[in-house]
Amino acid sequence: MKDPIVEISELSVFFGKYCVLNKVDLFVRSLDFLTIVGPNGGGKTTLIKTILGLVEPESGSVRVFGKKPCSVAYKNIGYVPQIKTIDRSFPGKVYELVATGWSGRWKFALNDVLRQRVKEVLSTCGLEHLEDRQINKLSGGELQRVFLARSFIRKPKLLLLDEPATGIDTIAETDFSFLLEKLQKENQTTIIMVTHDWEYAYYHSTSVLLLNKSVVALGKPQDVFTEENLQKTFGHLGHEHNMDFILRKDD
Amino acid sequence: MTELLLHSFAQNAFIAGLIVSLLCSSYGVFVVQRRMSFLGDGLAHVAFGGVALGLLLQFEPFWVSIPFTIIVAIALTYLKENSSLEVDTAIGIFFAVSVALGILFISINKRYVSDAFSYLFGSILLVSKNDLLYSLVFLLITLVIFLFWWERWTYSTFDYELAKVDKINVEFDNYLLSVLIAITIVISIKLVGILLVASYLVVPAATAKLISKTFSQMTIFSLIFGVISSEVGIFLSIIFDLPTGAFIVLFQASFFCLILILKYLFK
Ligand SMILES: Nc1ncnc2c1ncn2[C@@H]1O[C@H](COP(=O)(O)OP(=O)(O)OP(=O)(O)O)[C@@H](O)[C@H]1O
Ligand SMILES: [Mg+2]
């Protein structure tokens, strides 16, 4: 059996009196590609942040690589936050931001080795042209892709992505799934990704978590994506054609 | 005139100016980018209370202000991190109480009113050899701390959450920064004056920000502007025998405007 990467049991998270996650159990094995799907406000981001140690659980336990989130070495975890609102007044360049992914610090100056590493990851992600740009002059989609590059440079053992494809055009999105697969193959990366794209989750992930405050379903995509489960997660499904891709495949 | 500049008080002033400007411009970049100017303002007001108490007790005002401002710096940082209470209001209250106390202290013993004025406006005559020694020691400490913390503070200045994910103890770092800023302010008061110390802290960094593409550049330019403006200001104040802080800050402000205009014209 493969090593457990993330083990969560009976996890509950409250913001004040308001329960955001209720008794969540989750087990992610090495090399899994887990997608998390659920309605807005369903607690997806909160779950990711709990794994990162940014949010303190009310009860239950979270183990990442067998340790408490706060004692996992930062190099092991990559993180792409949900549409990042950055301080647009901060003077900094793209290569500096990407380099933070490697060093976990905002370097005063980059040495040649690090600079080369940044160049490589930017060209893998097709972003060479942005290297010397100022961060505050990037478009939303460009910034999102820079954050992806920033998470790739670390070659993390565990990669957490919170709706990474938001704002990225379709062509870049294809590259993006290709890059994820490459990263996973080369570095044995385990991936956890929040997405609203059911089709993506269905075809690309090894398991799916349907989350709406508590776990609605967890398992292989084929088993999880049923009318009944989706109805339980999202309430009334306004437009049934959301499920078209599954029906198409069955034909 | 050259005679005047060779006097030991003048030399003291130039050295003090160098040290204090290096201190203020290096912490200033964080104050500016984190939008913490309120902290500088508030701490200066608190320092006034401390100075007045020192004068009343006939105890070196520097050593009375230091603990006061440090405690308030910690308290303000705590409030900012841990409460949803309007921090501005809290700072406003700290402000008012310590200035009010300061006024009372000074009025109790009228003999020191003129000293109090020197502290408000800053005076090179206040700077003693001992002061030079303290500030030099603190500058060396700052240098060492910057070697380790500049990259951490800069990272959490850019983004608190990302820095935290990368296991930087951002809370501790914030307290450390506030305490160091508090000490910097008290050290600068004799030269620049309580009224102007907050702007002295931010203007070189704000000027640097106008022309910097990276945060490292901003730090370096801030140091350059800070040192030049302080030395020129001190020179002018000795020649005209007028308050130092005022000259320095006026010079800094015109520098800021000049660069703003140039930037507007050439972009
Ligand atoms: N810092 C916070 N303080 C108080 N409430 C919060 C905080 N962060 C999130 N919440 C609440 O917790 C709930 C879950 O939020 P979360 O961001 O985890 O949802 P999500 O599943 O990521 O939603 P989305 O699809 O919109 O990104 C929401 O109702 C939100 O209002
Ligand atoms: Mg979210």
pLDDT score of A130 more than 80? yes
For residue B24, give both structure tokens: 């203020």
Q: For residue range A84-103, list pLDDT tens digits in order.
A: 778 889 999 999 999 999 99
Q: Determine whether the shortest distance from the Cβ of A156 to ligand 1 is under 6 A.
A: no
- Within chain B, strands assigned E span none
Residue nearest to atom 10 of ligand 1 (CA): A15
Model pTM score? 0.91
Q: How far is CA B194 from CA A116, B207, B209, in A?
A: 48, 21, 25
Query: Does B166 sit within 8 Å of A106, measured CB to CB?
Result: no
Report the percentage of chain A scoring pLDDT > 90. 60
- Domains belonging to chain A, first-starting first, are 4-246 (3.40.50.300)
Count of residues making up chain B? 267
Q: What is the pLDDT of residues B132-176, one digit of tens each?
A: 999 999 999 999 999 999 999 999 999 999 999 999 999 999 999
What would the pLDDT profile of A104-115 be if each residue is shown by its tens digit? 999 999 999 999
Q: Domain range for residue B237?
A: 2-265
Ligand 1 in reach of A38 Cβ (< 6 A): yes
Q: Which residues are bridge partners to A52 per DSSP?
A: none
| Ligand 1 neighbour A44 (Cβ under 6 A) | yes
Instruction: Indicate which of A83, A90, A106 best probes the interface with B, i.e. most B CBs within 10 Å of its own CB.
Output: A106
Mean pLDDT over B7-20 rounds to 89
What was the pLDDT predicted at A245? 61
Residues of chain A with pLDDT > 70, as a percent, come to 93
Distance of alpha carbon B191 from alpha carbon B169, whole angstroms: 34
How far is the centre of ligand 1, averaged over its atoms, from the C-alpha of A21 (Å)?
A: 10
Instruction: Report pLDDT digits (tens) over B85-131.
Output: 666 676 678 788 889 999 999 888 777 778 888 888 888 878 888 88
Q: Ligand 1: does its nearest atom lie under 6 Å from the Cβ of A233? A: no
Beta strands at A207-212 and A214-219: parallel, antiparallel or unpaired:
antiparallel
Measured from the CB, is residue A46 less than 6 Å from ligand 1? yes
As a whole number of angstroms, the distance between CA A221 and CA A208 comes to 6
pLDDT, tens digit, for every residue of A43-56?
A: 999 999 999 999 99
- List pLDDT tens digits, range A183-235: 888 889 999 999 988 888 888 899 999 999 899 989 998 888 888 788 888 87
pLDDT digits (tens, 9 = 90+) for B59-76: 888 999 999 899 989 988
What are the φ/ψ torsions at residue A131 (nearest 5 degrees)? -45, -50
* A70 and chain B in contact, CB less than 8 A: yes
In sign, the C-alpha dihedral spanning B121, B122, B123, B124 is: negative
Taking the C-alpha atoms of residue A23 and residue A26, their distance in angstroms, rounded to an integer, is: 10
- Note whether A54 contacts B161, CB cutoff 8 Å: yes
Which residues, 6+ apart, have CB-to-CB distance to A90 below 8 Å? A135, A136, B33, B157, B158, B215
Q: How many whole angstroms from its chain centre is CA B38?
A: 12
Q: What is the pLDDT of residues B199-225, one digit of tens each?
A: 999 999 999 999 999 999 999 999 999
Distance CA B174, CA B184 (A): 15
How confident is the prediction for chain B on average, in pLDDT? 90
Residues whose CB is less than 8 angstroms from the CB of residue B130 and which lie 6 or more positions away in sequence, other chains included: none
Going from the C-alpha of B266 to that of each of A120, B210, B218, the distances in angstroms are 35, 13, 19
Q: Tokens representing A46?
A: 């909160």
The structure tokens 């800094």 sit at B252
Structure tokens at A160: 């957490």
What's residue B38's pLDDT? Answer: 80
In chain B, the number of structural domains is 1
pLDDT over 90 (residue A154): yes
Interatomic CA distance for residues B173 and B166, integer angstroms: 14
**Ligand 1 center to A45 CA (angstroms):** 7
Helix (H, G, I), strand (E, B) or coil at B94: helix
Q: For strand A33-37 and strand A18-29, is the pairing parallel, antiparallel, or unpaired?
A: unpaired
Q: Do strands A190-194 and A18-29 pair parallel, antiparallel, or not at all (unpaired)? A: unpaired
Q: How far is the CA of B66 from the CAs of A234, B44, B56, B123, B188, in angstroms? A: 58, 11, 16, 19, 12
B229 pLDDT higher than 80: yes
Percent of chain B with pLDDT over 90: 59
The atom number, within ligand 1, closest to the CA of A46 reads 18
Cα–Cα nearest to A40, from A229, A227, A233: A233
Contacts of B148 (CB under 8 A, 6+ apart): none
Domain containing B45 — which CATH number? 1.10.3470.10
ipTM (interface pTM):
0.89
Which protein residue has the closest C-alpha to ligand 1 atom 30?
Answer: A41
B214 alpha-carbon distance from chain centroid: 23
What number of CA atoms fall less than 13 Å from residue B88's CA on the CB side? 2
Closest CA relative to residue A114, chosen from A95, A89, A132: A95
Q: Assess contact for A160 and A80: CB atoms under 8 A.
A: yes
Instruction: Print the SS3 string covering chain A.
Output: CCCEEEEEEEEEEEECCEEEEEEEEEEEECCCEEEEECCCCCCHHHHHHHHHCCCCCCEEEEEECCECHHHCCHHHEEEECCCCCCCCCCCCEHHHHHHHHHHCCCCCCCCHHHHHHHHHHHHHCCCHHHCCCEHHHCCHHHHHHHHHHHHHCCCCCEEEEECCCCCCCHHHHHHHHHHHHHHHHHHCCEEEEECCCHHHHHHHCCEEEEEECEEEEEECHHHHCCHHHHHHHHCCCCCHHHHHHHHHHHC
- For residue A80, which residues of chain B lie inside 8 Å, CB to CB? none
